[in-house]
Structure 1
Amino acid sequence: MHPVVQFRLPSANPARVRLLLALLVFGNVWLAAVGTQRTVYRAGDELVTITRTKVDPSTATSPGYSYYSYTAANPQPEIVYYTNAQGITTRQYQTTSGSVGAGIRRQGCSRNPCGVGATCQETAGGRPVCSCPAGYSGNPLVQCRRAECLDHSECRGDQACRNGNCVNPCAGVCGINANCEVRNHVPVCSCPRGRTGDPFSSCRLQDPEELCRPSPCGSNTKCDVINGVPTCSCLPGYIGSPLSGCRHECESDVECSSNQYCSQFKCVNGCNQCGKGATCARVTNHRAVCECPKGYIGSPFTECRPECFGDRDCPAGRPACIYGICKNPCEGACGVNADCNLRGLTPVCSCPRDMTGDPFISCRPFTKEDLCNPNPCGTNAVCTPGYDRSNQERPVCTCPPGYTGNALTSCVRGECQSDGECSDHKACIAYQCVDPCVGQCGVGAQCQAKRHLAVCTCPAGTQGDALVSCRTARNYPVARYNKKRNAQLDGFAKVLRYGSWLSYKGGAMFKLALICLVLVTVGHSDAQCPDNPCGIEASCRLNSGGIPVCSCPFGYLGDPFKECIRPECVSDGDCTEFQGCRKGKCVDPCVFSCGTNAACSTKHHVPVCYCPDGFTGSPFERCDPL
């Protein structure tokens, strides 16, 4: 058996074949066939087939010879060999392909059967073998030419040495639509960009997704075609080179930084270990320190939830749910030493009864100065510490000299302070210039104002006390008052004016607004304020000199010479728990106490300002919606 050799030849020439069954005999290649032999040899870069066919001996022109017809496969003149029974071969030129000429008897290389420049060597059987010498190429039966090259190194990099010639090795090598690139004298076939297939057969248009089939990427990657180019990237959770292969970011905590831990093969923030609503204090050695905020309960690694969602969730001691925490609304609501009481869930601050101050800042013990600071009295009124009927310290409001009015509301400067500021026929009474006669004389008496005084007399024909009544004249003894043994008063009245006793004859005269002591008999009365000269509800007492003094009882207001009126209140204790005493009136202390949009409630007479639900800010200035 002889080896089989496969050649890939340019497809442009149909005379070339791709597969040969080669039989190496004396340097020639033979194709064996029954009754016919074909010789295949190379002439230049061509494969030439010569067919040998046995000729009928009866037609032979030379007896003793075995005739064979040799026919070339191409139309060029070829050499025809005749071999006799002794193996002696002769040759003859023929001019037409397929024609047979007469055999010429010749033995071995004695007559050079080879072409120009070829060498001839005989085989052991005497058969001549023609070949081109080293460095030459061509058909040794026709002509040998000096070769262009002996090996690839004598050609350019994009050429190959074929049969002594430097040629383009790509000619006819690659398939349809394929590209051919010569690398180091070797043709390399490939499909151009956008096409795929067998570059030695045919390249077809490529589906872009085929660029990723099979994937050119490494393990744990994905392949995407972007702008016609396959692009590799690591799968989520993987890192590394997508071309060589991607790996997990971590397998254990030690592969992460100290403030991270490995979760699902990724290094993540260590604080992610804390539960819902929890706070992360710090992360140490991959482990988080989680805490529930103040007022929250639960596990900080699972969930922290508010202590309460409404007031109903809170105990009695902390009845209000404030931002998820049960609290006592009084905690921190009031000032130092102040009392706090809940009105519903609203804190009400107040100072204890024996203390004063701002209950939202500080309460301190009372002093006498506190009774009049700030001044609780009306305009222009004077406040002085005093006592009420229960001997409790209270502020006393009075109008100063020269002023008149209600000291709890307003004191107005009077028209006068003395009689000299009025006309002769008027007197300065209650700081007003008025007729001194009005309502001062008795029934049936007549009055005449003189030098600011009211002079009451009984008309002629009548007698009696002009300050009380005048009646038909009768004979009455003259009343006398012995002041210094000889002094006597004609009539029934004597008038005390500025501490002096004045005596008049023929009538009684007195000064209104000063105290008149009317004597109906001679002598001095020891009674306390006989014929009380004071107004309604006013108090009267005699001083050490025996002079009656009129005053309004503590807590009463008004003119003690006319009427004393008890106000609605003197202190907060006189009002309901939800009212305060302001200038003698029980009023709602919340009025005008709080800021815009603020709510107010009163307990123990003290207003408490706060921002209602849905508002925030300073309740004493302004509450704004959340």
Structure 2
Amino acid sequence: MSLGSERDNTDPCFPNPCGAHAKCRASGGHPVCSCIYYGNPETSCFKGECVETHDCSDDRVCKDFYCTDPCPGTCGRGAQCIVRRHVPVCTCPAGHTGDPFEQCRRLGPEELCDPSPCGRNSKCEVALHLAICSCLPHFFGNPVQGCRAECETDSACAQTQECRLYKCVNPCTDACGEKAECRVEHHRAICSCPKGSERDNTDPCFPDACGAHAKCRASGGHPVCTCIYYGNPETSCFKGECVETHDCSDDRVCNDFYCTDPCPGTCGTGAQCIVRRHVPACTCPAGHTGDPFEGCRRLGPEELCDPSPCGRNSKCEVAFHLAICSCLPHFFGNPVQGCRAECETDSACAQTQECRLHKCVNPCTDACGEKAECRVEHHRAICSCPKDFLGDPRIRCYAECTVHEECAYHQACINFRCTDPCVGACGMNAECRVENHKPICSCPKGFTG
């Protein structure tokens, strides 16, 4: 005889009165059947992945108890779809325009460079239906990020050079007259006639008829004096950097013949200023809000996470007046760029595991009933009762008996089953009868042994 626990005959869920895969619970002494996902609990239940959309990852929605991609059929022709927080967002891809919910079309050649995708001090041209960025003459660098000049003022050049058209060059080039000598002092060309040579008295600009730093040119045998930048050419000229704003780099404007920063005094308190194509743009810095032309204020704690700066499958919390991003439970990765799940479907797990709440787990956990055995096949738990046990393996397995007294008087409890104790108990030609669950062997009348 084997020993074990006695079954509870007061349990209304034993044996299970519900349908396949249904859950049974006792209520007021009566069984209550229910499905976790969907189906008829009195006949059969079916397993799903979700009940509500928040049971799914951020790029899925719950439909008919399964997590599905909401994008198919949502956007127009040629549009791309990205799901953010369960909501499909339709946009036209780069190089295209139109209504993404209707149709996106490829940009025409005249549209690819308007507005320009290139950085400052660069130009945009169309070739092979692509916007090609290149640096402006005398500038170099990355035309997408922005090109830079070799120089913007003489101070960026060696003492023997001057800044001309954003390049450091020899100031003596084309500065002096025929057969004149040239030397450079402080970025400026100094012209003089060689010792012992005769000067050309037919040149009305010799000796210099103009003021300091002025340019002299002959016109009708008379000197004509001009200033390149500003001043009185008859007395003295002053060197500047520009005449018009386009003479300056993209982040400067021409003010009184000098390239200056247009930002000071333009934006409000706490705002930041960025100059694009000579135009100052005022914005509030990260973590601030307000009118950047009046004043920016720091965001309140309740505003730092609304809208959330975090990636998908992450949460935003405020600490030390900072928005802190962290991955949701069962997700991992970079919460700013986006967290990912260990799995989204069973196929991402080993054959002996299933995907539950975005983690690969043993499907046998809590799958089978009391005293039942469990094995895994193709990500699914297969429940069965041990040998010689009875019952519904999804609810409870039990022995038919644990002691002889649980069987009829003419049977005995052998391996948890009520069986005839005479089987195999007596010798050849012997007779067997059962008394008090025990086999009694005897020889038939006229036989001995």
The TM-score, its normalising length taken from structure 2, stands at 0.33
Bigger relative contact order, structure 1 or 2 (CA pairs below 8 A, ≥6 apart):
2
State the structure with more CA Rg.
1
The TM-score, its normalising length taken from structure 1, stands at 0.25
